[in-house]
Amino acid sequence: MKKNMVYFVLYVVLITELLIVITERDELEEKEHSVRDKMLNSLADSYKRPVLLAIPNRRTDYDVGAKENGGAIVVMTPVGLVSDEEKKEVEFYVDVAPGSKTPSDWPSGGVTSKNGNGVYKLIKTDDGNAQFLAKLSSEGEYSFRAYCKVERKLPSYLPDFLLADLAKRVGEQKVSTSPKEAFQIVAKRQGGVKKQGVEFLF
């Protein structure tokens, strides 16, 4: 009888421990699902926001007469890109603003990150930003407008089941184009010898 009682107590203890383990596992799974849902919702919200183009320096002064001048540089940063794939494939566009003086040798149709010439070009960086380089040959105030365009792409680092869930939350992927942002380059000949007035006394 005492032996049976010991076995019964051990059985109750074992069942209790098993129930505790199952309860803790269920709680952990519930927390894991909650964290996963929050992460996917946050990513989905990021994809639903519009892509913007930030140009920190709206006015750039450029010295036309400087011999070692590599050109006026305007930095452009897209805001709202989520995946590394988007940062690699985002494209930038710059054109002369309506009503502005057109600089010499400006390509018809403007400058993109896929075209350009020795005078004007857009250089993309590894972090998804771009630099607009302009080697202006004549003085003047030049106004431009820039924007970026990207095809929305989900991050490749997520496993397939999470990608499928994220795709449902985001909806149809499409090309996103930022609003046009204005900036100005003021070209002046600042170097050289200044002419001084001569006064004749009789």
E-strand stretches of the chain:
52-54, 59-63, 72-79, 91-96, 111-112, 120-124, 130-134, 140-151, 175-177, 181-188
- Which position has the higher pLDDT, 168 or 145? 145
Predicted confidence (pLDDT) per residue in 90-130, tens digit: 999 999 999 898 988 888 889 988 887 778 999 998 888 99
For the chain, give the percent of residues with pLDDT over 90.
25
Stretch among 35-39, 58-62, 78-82 having the lowest mean pLDDT: 35-39
User: In terms of Cα–Cα distance, which of 202, 84, 94, 73 is closest to 154?
Assistant: 84
For residues 153 and 103, is the Cβ–Cβ distance under 8 A?
no
User: In terms of Cα–Cα distance, which of 153, 154, 150 is closest to 176?
Assistant: 150
> What pLDDT shows up at residue 199?
46
> What pLDDT shows up at residue 53?
94
For residues 178 and 129, is the Cβ–Cβ distance under 8 A?
no
